[in-house]
Copies of this chain bind each other. A is one copy, B any other.
Amino acid sequence: MTDSLNKTEYTENVRFTLLSTDTATQARRGLITTPHGPVRTPCFMPVGTQGTVKSMVPERIRELGIDMILGNTYHLYLRPGHELIAKLGGLHRFMNWDKPILTDSGGFQIFSLGALRRITDDGVTFQSHIDGSRHMIRPEDTVRIQEALGSDIMMCLDECPPYTADTAYIEESLERTTRWAARCKAVKRRDEQALFGIVQGGFSPILRRRSLDEITALDFDGYALGGVSVGEPKERMREIVESTTPFFPANKPRYLMGVGTPEDIVESVAHGIDMFDCVMPTRNARNGMLFTNTGKVVIKNACYRDDESPIDDSCDCYTCRNYTRAYLRHLYIAREILAIILNTIHNVRFYARLMERIRTAIEKESYGEFRKRYLRNSSFNV
Protein backbone atom coordinates (compact mmCIF):
# COMPACT_ATOMS: atom_id res chain seq x y z
CA MET A 1 0.00 0.00 0.00
CA THR A 2 1.31 3.38 -0.91
CA ASP A 3 -0.58 5.29 1.73
CA SER A 4 -0.09 3.89 5.18
CA LEU A 5 -2.16 4.59 8.24
CA ASN A 6 -0.92 6.33 11.30
CA LYS A 7 -2.30 4.23 14.14
CA THR A 8 -2.62 7.27 16.37
CA GLU A 9 -5.24 8.90 14.16
CA TYR A 10 -8.10 8.24 16.53
CA THR A 11 -10.12 11.30 17.46
CA GLU A 12 -12.95 11.84 19.90
CA ASN A 13 -15.20 13.18 17.19
CA VAL A 14 -15.32 12.54 13.47
CA ARG A 15 -13.18 15.06 11.57
CA PHE A 16 -12.34 15.52 7.91
CA THR A 17 -9.02 16.85 6.65
CA LEU A 18 -8.60 17.69 2.99
CA LEU A 19 -5.02 16.68 2.24
CA SER A 20 -4.65 17.59 -1.43
CA THR A 21 -6.60 18.28 -4.57
CA ASP A 22 -5.70 17.15 -8.06
CA THR A 23 -4.82 19.89 -10.54
CA ALA A 24 -6.53 18.70 -13.73
CA THR A 25 -9.65 17.26 -12.05
CA GLN A 26 -11.61 17.88 -8.87
CA ALA A 27 -10.31 14.69 -7.26
CA ARG A 28 -9.45 15.05 -3.57
CA ARG A 29 -7.22 13.16 -1.13
CA GLY A 30 -8.50 13.35 2.40
CA LEU A 31 -8.56 11.77 5.81
CA ILE A 32 -11.55 11.16 8.05
CA THR A 33 -10.51 10.57 11.64
CA THR A 34 -12.97 8.85 13.95
CA PRO A 35 -13.16 7.35 17.45
CA HIS A 36 -12.43 4.00 15.77
CA GLY A 37 -9.50 5.18 13.67
CA PRO A 38 -8.75 6.87 10.38
CA VAL A 39 -10.32 6.47 6.95
CA ARG A 40 -8.25 7.38 3.91
CA THR A 41 -10.35 9.01 1.21
CA PRO A 42 -11.39 8.44 -1.49
CA CYS A 43 -12.59 5.27 0.22
CA PHE A 44 -14.78 2.30 -0.58
CA MET A 45 -16.97 0.71 2.09
CA PRO A 46 -18.00 -2.94 1.69
CA VAL A 47 -21.55 -3.57 2.85
CA GLY A 48 -22.11 -5.47 6.10
CA THR A 49 -25.87 -5.83 5.95
CA GLN A 50 -26.64 -8.02 8.95
CA GLY A 51 -23.66 -7.28 11.18
CA THR A 52 -21.20 -9.14 8.92
CA VAL A 53 -19.61 -8.47 5.55
CA LYS A 54 -20.87 -11.73 4.11
CA SER A 55 -18.37 -14.62 4.45
CA MET A 56 -15.55 -12.47 5.92
CA VAL A 57 -14.00 -12.47 9.37
CA PRO A 58 -13.29 -8.83 10.33
CA GLU A 59 -9.51 -9.30 10.50
CA ARG A 60 -9.57 -10.33 6.85
CA ILE A 61 -11.54 -7.23 5.80
CA ARG A 62 -8.92 -5.10 7.50
CA GLU A 63 -6.01 -6.95 5.87
CA LEU A 64 -7.52 -6.26 2.47
CA GLY A 65 -6.99 -2.54 3.00
CA ILE A 66 -10.53 -1.56 4.00
CA ASP A 67 -10.79 1.30 6.52
CA MET A 68 -14.56 1.55 7.03
CA ILE A 69 -17.57 -0.69 6.46
CA LEU A 70 -21.26 0.08 6.09
CA GLY A 71 -23.98 -1.36 8.30
CA ASN A 72 -27.65 -1.48 7.28
CA THR A 73 -29.87 0.07 9.93
CA TYR A 74 -33.07 -1.43 8.52
CA HIS A 75 -31.76 -4.98 8.78
CA LEU A 76 -30.14 -4.55 12.20
CA TYR A 77 -33.24 -2.78 13.57
CA LEU A 78 -35.39 -5.77 12.59
CA ARG A 79 -32.86 -8.46 13.53
CA PRO A 80 -31.36 -8.75 16.09
CA GLY A 81 -32.66 -5.28 17.09
CA HIS A 82 -30.74 -2.11 17.95
CA GLU A 83 -31.58 -2.36 21.64
CA LEU A 84 -30.02 -5.80 21.88
CA ILE A 85 -26.92 -4.58 20.03
CA ALA A 86 -26.68 -1.56 22.38
CA LYS A 87 -27.00 -3.86 25.39
CA LEU A 88 -24.16 -5.98 24.00
CA GLY A 89 -21.86 -2.97 23.68
CA GLY A 90 -22.75 -1.57 20.26
CA LEU A 91 -22.26 -2.78 16.71
CA HIS A 92 -18.45 -2.61 16.71
CA ARG A 93 -18.18 -4.93 19.67
CA PHE A 94 -21.10 -7.12 18.60
CA MET A 95 -19.46 -7.94 15.29
CA ASN A 96 -15.82 -7.74 16.44
CA TRP A 97 -14.91 -4.87 14.08
CA ASP A 98 -13.12 -2.09 15.97
CA LYS A 99 -12.62 0.13 12.92
CA PRO A 100 -14.98 2.82 11.60
CA ILE A 101 -18.57 2.01 10.68
CA LEU A 102 -21.03 4.11 8.73
CA THR A 103 -24.70 3.22 9.09
CA ASP A 104 -27.35 4.18 6.57
CA SER A 105 -30.71 5.42 7.84
CA GLY A 106 -32.65 2.38 6.69
CA GLY A 107 -34.62 4.56 4.27
CA PHE A 108 -33.31 3.03 1.06
CA GLN A 109 -34.18 -0.51 2.15
CA ILE A 110 -37.61 0.58 3.38
CA PHE A 111 -38.39 2.36 0.09
CA SER A 112 -37.31 -0.78 -1.75
CA LEU A 113 -40.12 -2.67 -0.01
CA GLY A 114 -42.57 -1.18 -2.53
CA ALA A 115 -46.15 -2.03 -1.62
CA LEU A 116 -45.13 -2.93 1.93
CA ARG A 117 -44.42 0.69 2.92
CA ARG A 118 -46.23 4.03 3.16
CA ILE A 119 -44.70 7.50 3.48
CA THR A 120 -46.18 10.42 5.39
CA ASP A 121 -44.62 13.63 6.58
CA ASP A 122 -44.30 12.08 10.00
CA GLY A 123 -42.19 9.18 8.75
CA VAL A 124 -42.54 5.84 7.05
CA THR A 125 -44.61 2.82 7.99
CA PHE A 126 -43.65 -0.58 6.65
CA GLN A 127 -43.98 -4.30 7.09
CA SER A 128 -40.94 -6.41 7.97
CA HIS A 129 -39.67 -8.58 5.10
CA ILE A 130 -38.89 -11.22 7.75
CA ASP A 131 -42.17 -11.71 9.61
CA GLY A 132 -44.62 -9.14 8.19
CA SER A 133 -44.71 -7.20 11.48
CA ARG A 134 -45.69 -3.51 11.17
CA HIS A 135 -43.27 -0.72 12.03
CA MET A 136 -43.23 3.08 12.02
CA ILE A 137 -39.92 4.86 11.61
CA ARG A 138 -39.67 8.63 12.01
CA PRO A 139 -36.53 10.68 11.33
CA GLU A 140 -36.01 10.85 15.09
CA ASP A 141 -36.16 7.05 15.29
CA THR A 142 -33.41 6.55 12.72
CA VAL A 143 -31.06 8.72 14.76
CA ARG A 144 -32.02 6.94 17.95
CA ILE A 145 -31.44 3.55 16.31
CA GLN A 146 -28.09 4.58 14.84
CA GLU A 147 -27.04 5.99 18.21
CA ALA A 148 -27.86 2.63 19.76
CA LEU A 149 -25.78 0.91 17.10
CA GLY A 150 -22.94 3.33 17.87
CA SER A 151 -21.70 3.85 14.31
CA ASP A 152 -19.07 6.51 13.62
CA ILE A 153 -21.10 8.11 10.86
CA MET A 154 -24.90 8.19 10.85
CA MET A 155 -27.10 9.14 7.93
CA CYS A 156 -30.28 11.24 8.00
CA LEU A 157 -33.54 9.61 6.99
CA ASP A 158 -34.25 10.70 3.43
CA GLU A 159 -36.83 9.77 0.85
CA CYS A 160 -35.48 8.07 -2.21
CA PRO A 161 -38.03 8.41 -5.04
CA PRO A 162 -37.99 5.93 -7.92
CA TYR A 163 -36.45 6.89 -11.25
CA THR A 164 -39.93 7.07 -12.74
CA ALA A 165 -41.25 9.68 -10.25
CA ASP A 166 -42.59 12.90 -11.80
CA THR A 167 -41.19 16.35 -11.08
CA ALA A 168 -44.02 17.39 -8.78
CA TYR A 169 -43.47 14.32 -6.61
CA ILE A 170 -39.71 14.76 -6.59
CA GLU A 171 -40.14 18.34 -5.40
CA GLU A 172 -42.55 17.31 -2.64
CA SER A 173 -40.20 14.49 -1.65
CA LEU A 174 -37.16 16.77 -1.68
CA GLU A 175 -38.88 19.19 0.68
CA ARG A 176 -39.83 16.35 3.00
CA THR A 177 -36.22 15.12 2.96
CA THR A 178 -35.09 18.59 4.07
CA ARG A 179 -37.65 18.67 6.90
CA TRP A 180 -36.61 15.17 7.97
CA ALA A 181 -32.92 16.18 7.90
CA ALA A 182 -33.65 19.11 10.23
CA ARG A 183 -35.52 16.79 12.60
CA CYS A 184 -32.63 14.29 12.56
CA LYS A 185 -30.15 17.00 13.41
CA ALA A 186 -32.35 18.36 16.19
CA VAL A 187 -32.45 15.06 18.10
CA LYS A 188 -28.84 13.96 17.64
CA ARG A 189 -27.27 13.56 21.09
CA ARG A 190 -23.86 11.95 20.85
CA ASP A 191 -20.87 14.10 19.85
CA GLU A 192 -18.73 11.10 18.93
CA GLN A 193 -21.08 10.10 16.13
CA ALA A 194 -21.13 12.26 13.01
CA LEU A 195 -24.37 12.88 11.11
CA PHE A 196 -24.42 13.32 7.34
CA GLY A 197 -27.15 15.04 5.32
CA ILE A 198 -28.41 13.53 2.08
CA VAL A 199 -29.08 15.52 -1.07
CA GLN A 200 -32.02 14.30 -3.18
CA GLY A 201 -33.79 15.85 -6.18
CA GLY A 202 -34.06 13.07 -8.71
CA PHE A 203 -32.30 13.57 -12.02
CA SER A 204 -32.91 17.29 -12.38
CA PRO A 205 -29.73 19.30 -11.78
CA ILE A 206 -31.92 22.23 -10.72
CA LEU A 207 -33.78 20.27 -8.06
CA ARG A 208 -30.53 18.67 -6.93
CA ARG A 209 -29.02 22.13 -6.52
CA ARG A 210 -32.05 23.24 -4.53
CA SER A 211 -31.81 20.18 -2.24
CA LEU A 212 -28.10 20.75 -1.84
CA ASP A 213 -28.63 24.37 -0.76
CA GLU A 214 -31.31 23.38 1.75
CA ILE A 215 -29.36 20.46 3.21
CA THR A 216 -26.01 22.25 3.44
CA ALA A 217 -27.74 25.20 5.12
CA LEU A 218 -28.49 22.81 7.99
CA ASP A 219 -24.73 22.27 8.47
CA PHE A 220 -23.97 18.56 8.71
CA ASP A 221 -20.65 16.77 9.29
CA GLY A 222 -20.69 15.51 5.72
CA TYR A 223 -22.96 15.24 2.71
CA ALA A 224 -24.19 12.44 0.54
CA LEU A 225 -25.75 12.24 -2.88
CA GLY A 226 -28.66 9.83 -2.50
CA GLY A 227 -31.32 8.59 -4.85
CA VAL A 228 -28.99 7.28 -7.52
CA SER A 229 -28.65 3.58 -8.37
CA VAL A 230 -32.45 3.46 -8.62
CA GLY A 231 -32.55 1.96 -12.10
CA GLU A 232 -31.57 5.07 -14.06
CA PRO A 233 -29.31 4.95 -17.12
CA LYS A 234 -25.71 5.37 -16.08
CA GLU A 235 -25.37 8.73 -17.88
CA ARG A 236 -28.13 10.28 -15.77
CA MET A 237 -26.28 9.39 -12.58
CA ARG A 238 -23.04 10.79 -13.95
CA GLU A 239 -24.75 14.04 -15.01
CA ILE A 240 -26.00 14.53 -11.47
CA VAL A 241 -22.62 13.78 -9.93
CA GLU A 242 -20.89 16.13 -12.36
CA SER A 243 -23.36 18.99 -11.99
CA THR A 244 -23.93 18.75 -8.23
CA THR A 245 -20.69 17.73 -6.55
CA PRO A 246 -18.79 20.99 -7.18
CA PHE A 247 -21.31 22.83 -5.00
CA PHE A 248 -20.80 20.68 -1.93
CA PRO A 249 -18.78 22.45 0.80
CA ALA A 250 -15.10 21.69 0.18
CA ASN A 251 -14.31 21.11 3.84
CA LYS A 252 -16.75 18.22 4.35
CA PRO A 253 -16.64 14.64 3.04
CA ARG A 254 -18.82 13.82 0.04
CA TYR A 255 -20.43 10.42 -0.21
CA LEU A 256 -22.06 8.92 -3.32
CA MET A 257 -24.44 6.32 -1.93
CA GLY A 258 -24.70 2.83 -3.41
CA VAL A 259 -22.16 3.39 -6.20
CA GLY A 260 -20.82 1.41 -7.93
CA THR A 261 -18.77 -0.10 -10.73
CA PRO A 262 -15.03 0.57 -10.86
CA GLU A 263 -15.67 3.01 -13.74
CA ASP A 264 -18.39 4.82 -11.77
CA ILE A 265 -15.96 5.25 -8.90
CA VAL A 266 -13.05 6.44 -11.06
CA GLU A 267 -15.34 8.90 -12.83
CA SER A 268 -17.02 10.18 -9.66
CA VAL A 269 -13.71 10.72 -7.87
CA ALA A 270 -12.74 13.04 -10.76
CA HIS A 271 -15.73 15.19 -9.80
CA GLY A 272 -14.77 15.33 -6.15
CA ILE A 273 -16.55 12.39 -4.47
CA ASP A 274 -14.72 11.02 -1.39
CA MET A 275 -16.77 8.01 -0.27
CA PHE A 276 -18.49 5.03 -1.89
CA ASP A 277 -20.34 1.90 -0.87
CA CYS A 278 -21.76 -0.87 -2.99
CA VAL A 279 -22.77 -4.53 -2.71
CA MET A 280 -21.18 -5.23 -6.10
CA PRO A 281 -17.84 -6.74 -5.03
CA THR A 282 -19.41 -8.99 -2.39
CA ARG A 283 -22.62 -9.92 -4.24
CA ASN A 284 -20.81 -10.60 -7.51
CA ALA A 285 -18.33 -12.77 -5.63
CA ARG A 286 -21.20 -14.93 -4.41
CA ASN A 287 -22.45 -15.18 -7.99
CA GLY A 288 -19.02 -16.19 -9.29
CA MET A 289 -18.26 -12.91 -11.09
CA LEU A 290 -14.72 -11.82 -10.40
CA PHE A 291 -13.06 -8.50 -11.17
CA THR A 292 -9.66 -8.35 -12.84
CA ASN A 293 -7.63 -5.60 -14.43
CA THR A 294 -8.29 -7.17 -17.81
CA GLY A 295 -12.03 -7.67 -17.40
CA LYS A 296 -14.59 -9.93 -15.79
CA VAL A 297 -13.98 -13.59 -14.99
CA VAL A 298 -17.17 -15.67 -14.79
CA ILE A 299 -15.60 -18.49 -12.85
CA LYS A 300 -18.09 -21.22 -13.71
CA ASN A 301 -17.16 -21.04 -17.40
CA ALA A 302 -15.77 -24.24 -18.92
CA CYS A 303 -12.68 -22.42 -20.20
CA TYR A 304 -11.36 -22.29 -16.61
CA ARG A 305 -11.69 -26.05 -16.09
CA ASP A 306 -7.94 -26.71 -16.10
CA ASP A 307 -6.71 -23.13 -15.87
CA GLU A 308 -3.72 -23.10 -13.53
CA SER A 309 -3.42 -19.31 -13.35
CA PRO A 310 -4.81 -17.20 -10.52
CA ILE A 311 -7.89 -15.02 -11.06
CA ASP A 312 -5.63 -12.04 -11.74
CA ASP A 313 -1.87 -12.30 -12.20
CA SER A 314 -1.37 -8.78 -10.94
CA CYS A 315 -3.42 -9.25 -7.74
CA ASP A 316 -1.76 -9.62 -4.34
CA CYS A 317 -4.77 -11.09 -2.51
CA TYR A 318 -4.76 -14.33 -0.54
CA THR A 319 -6.92 -16.04 -3.15
CA CYS A 320 -4.69 -15.09 -6.08
CA ARG A 321 -1.53 -16.04 -4.18
CA ASN A 322 -2.80 -19.54 -3.36
CA TYR A 323 -5.50 -20.83 -5.71
CA THR A 324 -5.97 -21.56 -9.39
CA ARG A 325 -8.98 -20.65 -11.49
CA ALA A 326 -9.49 -24.41 -11.95
CA TYR A 327 -9.87 -24.90 -8.19
CA LEU A 328 -12.13 -21.87 -7.79
CA ARG A 329 -14.29 -23.14 -10.66
CA HIS A 330 -14.53 -26.55 -8.97
CA LEU A 331 -15.54 -24.98 -5.64
CA TYR A 332 -18.14 -22.77 -7.32
CA ILE A 333 -19.71 -25.61 -9.30
CA ALA A 334 -19.68 -27.87 -6.25
CA ARG A 335 -21.48 -25.03 -4.35
CA GLU A 336 -18.83 -24.99 -1.65
CA ILE A 337 -18.83 -22.19 0.92
CA LEU A 338 -15.12 -21.75 0.36
CA ALA A 339 -15.93 -20.52 -3.18
CA ILE A 340 -17.79 -17.57 -1.69
CA ILE A 341 -15.07 -16.89 0.85
CA LEU A 342 -12.22 -16.90 -1.69
CA ASN A 343 -14.17 -14.96 -4.33
CA THR A 344 -15.18 -12.31 -1.81
CA ILE A 345 -11.60 -11.86 -0.64
CA HIS A 346 -10.52 -11.28 -4.22
CA ASN A 347 -13.28 -8.86 -5.21
CA VAL A 348 -13.01 -6.77 -2.06
CA ARG A 349 -9.24 -6.60 -2.51
CA PHE A 350 -9.81 -5.55 -6.14
CA TYR A 351 -11.89 -2.60 -4.91
CA ALA A 352 -9.42 -1.78 -2.12
CA ARG A 353 -6.53 -1.77 -4.59
CA LEU A 354 -8.50 0.43 -6.95
CA MET A 355 -8.94 2.95 -4.14
CA GLU A 356 -5.23 2.74 -3.32
CA ARG A 357 -4.35 3.47 -6.93
CA ILE A 358 -6.84 6.33 -7.00
CA ARG A 359 -5.37 7.87 -3.84
CA THR A 360 -1.81 7.52 -5.16
CA ALA A 361 -2.74 9.13 -8.48
CA ILE A 362 -4.28 12.08 -6.66
CA GLU A 363 -1.21 12.46 -4.45
CA LYS A 364 0.96 12.52 -7.56
CA GLU A 365 -1.37 15.11 -9.13
CA SER A 366 -1.83 12.76 -12.07
CA TYR A 367 -5.43 11.76 -11.57
CA GLY A 368 -6.50 13.01 -14.99
CA GLU A 369 -4.04 10.66 -16.65
CA PHE A 370 -5.00 7.78 -14.40
CA ARG A 371 -8.69 8.28 -15.12
CA LYS A 372 -8.16 8.44 -18.89
CA ARG A 373 -6.04 5.29 -18.90
CA TYR A 374 -8.39 3.43 -16.59
CA LEU A 375 -11.56 4.18 -18.50
CA ARG A 376 -9.87 3.30 -21.81
CA ASN A 377 -8.79 -0.15 -20.58
CA SER A 378 -11.64 -1.13 -18.32
CA SER A 379 -14.89 -2.93 -18.99
CA PHE A 380 -16.94 -3.18 -15.82
CA ASN A 381 -20.13 -1.41 -16.75
CA VAL A 382 -21.95 -4.33 -15.29
Contact = CB atoms under 8 A, between A and B. Distances in A.
8 contacts: A51-B330, A55-B338, A57-B338, A57-B342, A88-B308, A94-B330, A96-B322, A96-B327
Copies assembled: 2
A210 to B, nearest CB: 40
Interface of A: 50-52, 54-57, 79-80, 84, 87-88, 94-96, 305-306, 308, 318, 322-324, 326-327, 329-331, 333-334, 336-338, 340-342
Contacts of A331: 50-52
B54 A336 contact: yes
B54 A88 contact: no
Contacts of A324: 88, 94
B88 A306 contact: yes
Nearest to A50: B334
A12 to B, nearest CB: 26
A344 B96 CA distance: 18
A83 to B, nearest CB: 10
Contacts of A323: 96
A346 to B, nearest CB: 13
Contact of A84 (B84, B306, B322, B340): B306
A333 B87 contact: no
A54 B337 contact: yes
Contact of A87 (B84, B306, B340): B306
A341 B52 CA distance: 12
A56 B338 contact: yes
A307 to B, nearest CB: 9
Given A96-B323, A324-B88, A55 B308 contact: no
Contacts of A330: 50-51, 79-80, 94
B50 A336 contact: yes
B79 A334 contact: yes
B326 A337 contact: no
